[in-house]
Amino acid sequence: MQQITIRRPDDWHLHLRDGAMLRAVLPETARDFARAIIMPNLVPPVVTLADTVGYRDRILAALPKGAVFEPLMTLYLTEDTDPADVAAAAASGVVKAVKLYPAGATTNSHGGVRDLTRVLPVLEKMAEVGLPLCVHGEVTTPEVDIFDREAVFIDTVLDPLRRRLPGLRVVMEHITTEEGVAYASSAGPTLGATITTHHLILNRNHILAGGIRPHYYCLPVAKREKHRLALRAAATSGNPQFFLGTDSAPHTDALKEQACGCAGCFTATNTMPLLAHVFEEDGALDRLEAFTSLNGPAFYRLPVNQTTLRLVKHATPPPFPDKIVTEAGPVTVFNPGFPVHWRVEA
């Protein structure tokens, strides 16, 4: 029997939603993860420190009895965000980052930023107080092909921004391209990058060849195989700039399986077994802990977790649920399409 024990992981990019959905999906993350960076793209978005404190309280109230889980909150950056509120948010200790959504880039991003020059005073304040900026790195220009939007964003938005504000710490969220890997690798310690579980597993053929698979559709959309391989190499490299952000993003099956389906893969339930599979396949099980439990805290300047998580490899793949039940309807759990022999055990 093969097994591995690592420091308890953290998820540096997670969608928990609110209300009934929050209550249904939170236990799936809290079972394996000690902390998570909580995305603020609710309807309406979590914009101010006061909004964030309220949302954090609702998350803590939704935790199963006995669960030990710390939500690390983020503010949704808008063109009306007040630098003083951001400074207060950083000082409060509740808020660990600010999230930049280019307006229209993804789910509930219409209130995001159209013109970066309008948020420069906020970004300058963040650089001053040491609060990181988490970036959804895709341009929204309709003329730019959806498979090129990340690479174009790096050249036309991210790099100029970082040159203008070299003191600002930035996380490239859910990178999906070899250009993203190369840019992060060439930057210094002020730049981190999260990688999702599903982007280590999927390329665009998985979504589109032989039928359209809505549960593999997320944003940024999975790219060619060479990009998946670049992400695998980065995640398993041990390079401290790369860490796990699952981007687990629940939508009900009804919203995924329709003429215009929502973007998001729900991976909270089985991320750790999937990652053990991926890292074992690449001969890098000894670097799983760096990716899931060490590199993220180092970037965010937080202590590593003191508790541990044990993964055991079974001869027969242990089953995982197809769906989780929510009051709004079923949510499909990410199915990688191959047997997974690993399971988290007490």
Q: Is the Cα dihedral 236, 237, 243, 249 positive or negative?
A: negative
Size of the site for Zn ion (CB under 5 A): 1
| Chosen from ligand NCD, Zn ion, none, partner binding at 208 (C-beta under 5 to 8 Å by type) | none
Q: State the nearest-atom distance from the C-beta of 249 to Zn ion, in Å.
A: 5
Query: Among residue numbers 300 through 319, which ones bind Zn ion (CB under 5 A)?
Result: none
Binding partner of residue 56 among Zn ion, ligand NCD, none, CB cut-off 5 to 8 Å per kind: none
- Strands laid side by side in the 191-195 sheet: 10-14, 35-38, 70-76, 95-100, 133-135, 170-172, 191-195, 242-244
* Nearer to ligand NCD among residue 25 and residue 219 (C-beta): 219
- Residue with the shortest CB distance to Zn ion: 247
- The phi-psi region of residue 153 (left if phi > 0; otherwise alpha if psi is between -120 and 50; otherwise beta) is alpha
Other CB atoms within 10 A of residue 212 CB: 10
Q: Which residues bind ligand NCD (CB under 6 A)?
A: 15, 41, 106-107, 136, 218-219, 247, 249, 263-264
Token pair, residue 309, equals 């998580």
Q: Are 69 and 63 in contact (CB under 8 A)?
A: yes
Chain centre distance of CA 206: 20
Span of 71-79, 139-147, 241-249, 277-285 interacting with Zn ion by CB under 5 A: 241-249
247 interacts with Zn ion by CB under 5 A: yes
Among the listed ranges 63-71, 113-121, 244-252, 291-299, the one in contact with Zn ion (CB under 5 A) is 244-252
Q: Could you tell me if 274 and 344 are in contact, meaning their C-beta atoms sit under 8 angstroms apart?
A: no
Least separation in angstroms between residue 39's CB and Zn ion is: 5
**Residue 204: CB minimum distance to ligand NCD, A:** 14
- Tell me the pairing of strands 323-324 and 242-244: unpaired
Which one of ligand NCD, Zn ion, none interacts with residue 34, CB within 5 to 8 A by kind? none
194 binds, among Zn ion, ligand NCD, none (CB under 5 to 8 A by kind): none
**11, 51, 85, 247: the active-site residue:** 247
The residue among 48 and 194 lying less far from ligand NCD, judged by its C-beta, is: 194
- Please indicate whether residue 11 is annotated as part of the active site: no
Cα dist. 144→33, 139, 180, 221 in Å?
37, 8, 17, 14
The residues annotated as belonging to the active site are 247
By the criterion CB under 5 A, which residues form the site for Zn ion?
247
